[in-house]
A and B are shown apart, each in its own frame.
Chain A
Amino acid sequence: AQTVTQSQPEMSVQEAETVTLSCTYDTSESNYYLFWYKQPPSRQMILVIRQEAYKQQNATENRFSVNFQKAAKSFSLKISDSQLGDTAMYFCAFMSRATLLIQGAQKLVFGQGTRLTINP
């Protein structure tokens, strides 16, 4: 079974600074997907960014980018020019591509989360 580990329970930075959240995972598969989700106090999970393991290029979405190190099984999220609205829980998640063989079997396995606070 796959596992996802986020080793930073909490982080805090000043507005406009850059912050990097860490994530490692364990899998024996070679093809899979990785995601970062944001969860504000409302508790709704919002997709921030996704990475396909067979793509070497790191994904970027505006101020959000990832550093995907496949050999090290590491998937960190960098937030540039942080804003007050970035304050939230951030979850790293893994999705196996092998489950494509079973219709409807794709699922997310989440890490424990990192609480990020952006201070004014």
Chain B
Amino acid sequence: EAGVAQSPRYKIIEKRQSVAFWCNPISGHATLYWYQQILGQGPKLLIQFQNNGVVDDSQLPKDRFSAERLKGVDSTLKIQPAKLEDSAVYLCASSRQEKAGNTIYFGEGSWLTVV
């Protein structure tokens, strides 16, 4: 079974530029997550989708961050304009959510450096 795929793996941009990250979850996984992990900290949930609907985006900085999962499969996270404090690893994860406590599987992450 293929894992959660993310691209690009690494990106360096200047502040005020824009960037987009792509995620393809494990086949059949209805729930998709985007987490932000700043160096030295634990991951923080940015947005959570169930199929193509948003379940939780309470911690997404909506003035600069946006995410979509139009067909309920792959997803794109966009940052525009980027700030220095957005430098982090962006982790995508997915889960079946068919029963309680389903395991959440993570991709390898997209590393963003804003200079």
Contacts and interface: CB of A to CB of B under 8 A. Distances in A.
Interface of A: 4, 6, 33, 37, 42-47, 50, 52, 91, 95, 97, 100, 102-113
| Dominant SS among interface residues on chain A | loop
B107 A44 contact: yes
A113 B42 contact: yes
Given A47-B103, A106-B102, 7 more contacts: A33-B100, A33-B101, A104-B49, A104-B97, A108-B43, A111-B42, A112-B41
A43 B55 contact: no
B108 interface: yes
Contacts of B30: 104
Contacts of B75: none
Interface of B: 30-31, 33, 37, 40-45, 48-51, 53, 55-56, 89, 91, 93, 95, 97, 100-109, 111
Contacts, number: 74
B51 A43 contact: no
18 contacts: A33-B100, A33-B101, A42-B108, A43-B91, A43-B109, A44-B106, A45-B43, A100-B100, A103-B97, A104-B49, A104-B50, A104-B53, A107-B33, A107-B56, A108-B43, A108-B45, A108-B104, A109-B45
Given A33-B101, A97-B100, A104 B42 contact: no
Contacts of B101: 33, 50, 52, 95, 97, 106
A44 B109 contact: yes
